[in-house]
Amino acid sequence: MLSCGVWGTVRLFWILSYKCGIIASFLLLVYPVQALEWSNKDNPQLNQIEQISQSTELLVQSPAPTSEIVQVTGVQANRTPQGGEVILQTTQGEQLQVINRGSGNNYIADIPNAQLRLPNNDAFTFRSENPIEGITEITVTNIDANTVRVAVTSETALPTVELFDSDEGLIFGFVTAASSAQQLQQPETPLAEDDELIEILVTGEQDGYRAPNASTATRTDTPLGDIPQSIQIIPQEVLRDQRADISSALLNSPSVRNSAPTNFPELRLQVRGFFSQPTLNGIRETNGLASNVGPDLTGIERIEVLQGPNSVLFGSSSPGGTVNFVTKQPLRDPYYFVEATVGSFNFYRGEVDLSGPLDDSGRALYRLNASYRDQEFFTDLSETRNLVIAPVVSFALGENTNLTIEGIYKNLYQDNYNLGLPAIGTIFPNPNGSIPRTRITNEGNLDVTVARIGYRLEHEFTENWSLSNAFRYGYLDYDGAGINVGTALLPDNRTLLRGYLDDFDDQYSDYRLTTNVIGRFSTGSIQHQLLFGIDLGRLDNSINFTNRTGASIDLFNPIYGQPPEAITFETDSNSVTDELGILVQDQIAIADNLNLLLSGRFDIFKQTNEDFLADTETSQSGSAFSPHVGIVYQPIPPISLYANYSRSFEPAIGRAFDDSEFEPTRGTQFEVGVKADVNDRLLTTLALYDITQSNVLTDDPENLGFSVQTGKQRSQGIELSLAGEILPGWNVFASYAYNDARVTEDNVIPVGNRIQRTTPHAASLWTTYEIQQGELQGLGFGLGLFFVGDRAGDTDNTFEVPSYLTTDAAIFYERNGLRAALNFKNLFNVDYFENAFNRLRVHPGAPFTVQGTISWQF
């Protein structure tokens, strides 16, 4: 994949080539070109060959190839009855490693162990425009010191490509819709006896443990090195190797804390110390619940953690950052995947992932992800059933227009899910002894249904101007009965008083429409990528429930099934929130190694609340402007130095004693960092940040029962991450976060207190090694270490949740599409606590568990 450092090198090369055109032309005449030719001599004007002398290579700091790199000494392109072929001429074709992907009408193959070198050791580039009908361009280039990229651009749909190994070298054979139609009556050319069909690896936009690009942070496909912001991407490969669910996946990002226990129905996230609502495919919805209800990651391709304020992208959002879930998209080549998992505590799960074309031309594609899991937990009487169905279809409506329709259905049913135990008897001693970690205090059940459907329309007006438009509707229905929550622990330290939530019904209808216009142009030597966006949203939420006094429970000798007592209060209300956001962003390339990002967003919102029991209606409106300024400087291609300033807002609904409306809560961040390509497959990022949240609501000291906006909180920290491949077969995904999040002004919470649930230190390490050759090829091992430091257990900091270190491990074997794996979690059976809501709700972590998985991809 194209790294930020390599991209800077390529751009520098093009400027040098442009300014030194006379020299380049001379080199084209002097150096031999016999190794690069079209076999069809009727179209010599279609070919363009570029060579780079050794002296020019020194200017772009391109190191000489090593003995491990395969040297491709020539490129030859031929017409065939089916379309065309490109031959990479080498005697070591069988050693070439090919990673291919499709993007729009472009087929791209990266070969990370090769270089284009003539016999005299000069580098070269191959290019041909309009070589055959249906293909607009073919290029073969060195994109860095050990990677060759083959790119085939089609006029319409993505071309079909097959790979063959022959005595001539590695052959890319491609078929387009146009050439297929013209050659329908012609017989196929058979393979020579010594030709061998090669199985190629399809990885989408990912490259192992390292993801080089992100679209969410700028709404454009931008290399990570060009984005002035700390972004951590947890790719599909990590999720697969760890057998991760939503909670365990986020342990890979230590700046993110999930304050909810593992078997809770949804996430309760804090990023850099502040509460945050997730997004899905870069669009905010239904308080983040519609994309994250339940434990399963079915249909999720990767998780992006965008650190710092992101209101310029999403509107109302946390100053700490945003967790964005990216869904799997249709593949052009047929893809079929089935999987079954069994594990501790009666864990059973099945999954299918199917994709491919719906028609012969490949203009209509589909993908269907579905899973079902039935599992118990280590806590008594707890059980969860989770069904997920996620279909996606895409249509190439024209040469420059694509439509994607995506939906999802989820159903989550939970019996007696864990709501925690008192700190006395778990973290602290209890005169009656330790409360069993398996003890359950909640006897209720929860039935959650999620449905979502939407579309994404993309159109390219010209090569430089494009439009994207997306709409999504989400529906969420929470139905709960008999949910028991601890309210007090009596002096005997064994009797827990409980509240009883009955007839709980919480429904959301969420509508999101977003439109972006993107244009590329230049002002002199300065390049611009301008984005203009408009977002519209409506959230309709109705909630009604009855709260009763629940029956008390003896923590050491529980008797379940006791009836509740009198009604304490009831709720029946509805709220409607309307939002409009307007975004302008300019990504400016001032020079080859200097990029500037300027963006600003203006939001207006209005919320109307109806209380049906009190027969009252109230409304509140507000507005906010969110700027973002960032700069990236590359002193050398592999290094990106960046800095940014950004602001965020979140509505503060309510009124002060004088009946004035509250202003939005504001977040302000300053961040600096460095991103470095250790090599072409290993990326590291270091970030330092300072965030201040102001206009925080706190109690009004002069008017009981009212609030004022005089509170402030501050978060400072350091983040370090490393992701990618250290050596062939050896992958690593590691992070460390230091976060000092404290209250700086408040009328109730003591100044200097740590923000609840935050910890100064957290770290994670996940590494795998897979044997690359020999009889044991495909056998791999994984090891994970996850450390979380002491956390503030409540807002008053009256107790701390102790630190812990857990160890995970994996053994897997993969061959010919068949994969078998054993995953061990909490390998040494450490007693630990995931988190705490308060002194009555501390959540013990799961003991040692094991899961066995077998999957088949074909």
DSSP structural state of residue 753 = P
> Taking Cα atoms as reference points, which of 405, 366, 410, 374 lies closest to residue 389?
410
pLDDT at 103: 59
The crossing angle, in degrees rounded to 10, of helices 4-19 and 21-30 is 90
pLDDT at 289 over 60: no
Q: How far is CA 259 from CA 44, 648, 757, 833, in A?
A: 65, 22, 7, 11
**Looking at residues 768-786, what average pLDDT do you find?**
94
Q: How far is CA 566 from CA 25, 386, 498, 560, in A?
A: 91, 34, 12, 18
Poorest-pLDDT segment among 20-34, 173-187, 806-820: 20-34
**451 beta partners:** 409, 475
Ordered strands of the 274-276 beta sheet: 256-258, 269-271, 274-276
DSSP structural state of residue 251 = G
pLDDT at 530 over 80: yes
pLDDT at 399: 85
- CATH architecture of the domain 4-202 equals Sandwich (2.60)
696 burial (CB, 10 Å; 0-12 / 13-18 / 19+) is: buried
Is 335-857 the same fold as 4-202?
no
pLDDT at 130 over 80: no
**In a 3-state reduction of DSSP, which class is residue 332?**
coil
pLDDT, tens digit, for every residue of 299-337? 999 999 999 999 999 999 999 999 999 999 999 889 999
Strands 833-838 and 665-679: unpaired
First to last CA, the chain: 24
Q: How far apart are CA 501 and CA 792, in angstroms?
A: 28
pLDDT-derived band at 773, boundaries 50, 70, 90 = confident
Q: How far apart are CA 229 and CA 599, in angstroms?
A: 13
Contact 321, 306 (CB under 8 A): yes
pLDDT-derived band at 476, boundaries 50, 70, 90 = very high
pLDDT at 19: 36
Contact 302, 377 (CB under 8 A): no
| Domain locations along the chain | 4-202, 335-857
Poorest-pLDDT segment among 273-287, 414-428, 448-462, 678-692: 273-287
Identify which has the larger pLDDT, 3 or 708.
708
pLDDT, tens digit, for every residue of 164-222? 877 788 888 887 655 544 443 333 334 333 433 333 333 333 457 887 777 777 888 78
**CATH superfamily, region 335-857:** TonB-dependent receptor, beta-barrel domain (2.40.170.20)
Tokens representing residue 8 in the block:
């800077």
pLDDT at 292 over 80: no
pLDDT at 236 over 70: yes
Poorest-pLDDT segment among 139-143, 388-392, 421-425: 139-143
pLDDT at 46 over 70: no
pLDDT at 55: 29
As a whole number, the mean pLDDT across the chain is 85
Greatest mean pLDDT range, 129-143, 190-204, 398-412? 398-412
**Looking at residues 798-815, what average pLDDT do you find?**
96
> Taking Cα atoms as reference points, which of 226, 221, 218 lies closest to residue 205?
221
Question: Taking the CB of residue 469, how many other CB atoms lie within 10 A of it?
Answer: 16
Q: How far apart are CA 721 and CA 391, in angstroms?
A: 34
Q: In one letter, which amino acid is 467?
A: L
> Taking Cα atoms as reference points, which of 86, 109, 275 lies closest to residue 175?
86
Tokens representing residue 642 in the block:
């960046």
Q: How far apart are CA 814 and CA 856, in angstroms?
A: 9
Length of the chain: 858
Q: In one letter, which amino acid is 406?
A: E
Instruction: Please state whether the predicted TM-score (pTM) of the whole model is above 0.75.
Output: yes
Q: How far is CA 397 from CA 134, 355, 376, 528, 664, in A?
A: 17, 19, 47, 29, 43
Which residue, chain included where needed, has tokens 């959301």?
Answer: 508
Q: How far apart are CA 3 and CA 25, in angstroms?
A: 29
pLDDT, tens digit, for every residue of 581-609? 999 999 999 998 999 999 999 999 999 99
**In a 3-state reduction of DSSP, which class is residue 564?**
coil
Q: How far is CA 813 from the centre of its chain?
A: 26
DSSP structural state of residue 807 = E
pLDDT-derived band at 41, boundaries 50, 70, 90 = very low
pLDDT-derived band at 532, boundaries 50, 70, 90 = very high
Identify which has the larger pLDDT, 143 or 535.
535
pLDDT-derived band at 78, boundaries 50, 70, 90 = confident
**In a 3-state reduction of DSSP, which class is residue 433?**
coil
pLDDT, tens digit, for every residue of 499-509? 998 888 999 99
pLDDT at 293: 75
Identify which has the larger pLDDT, 739 or 78.
739
- Residues 6 or more apart whose Cβ sits within 8 Å of residue 279: 216, 285, 288, 291, 314, 322, 323, 324, 325
Poorest-pLDDT segment among 265-269, 369-373, 660-664, 806-810: 265-269
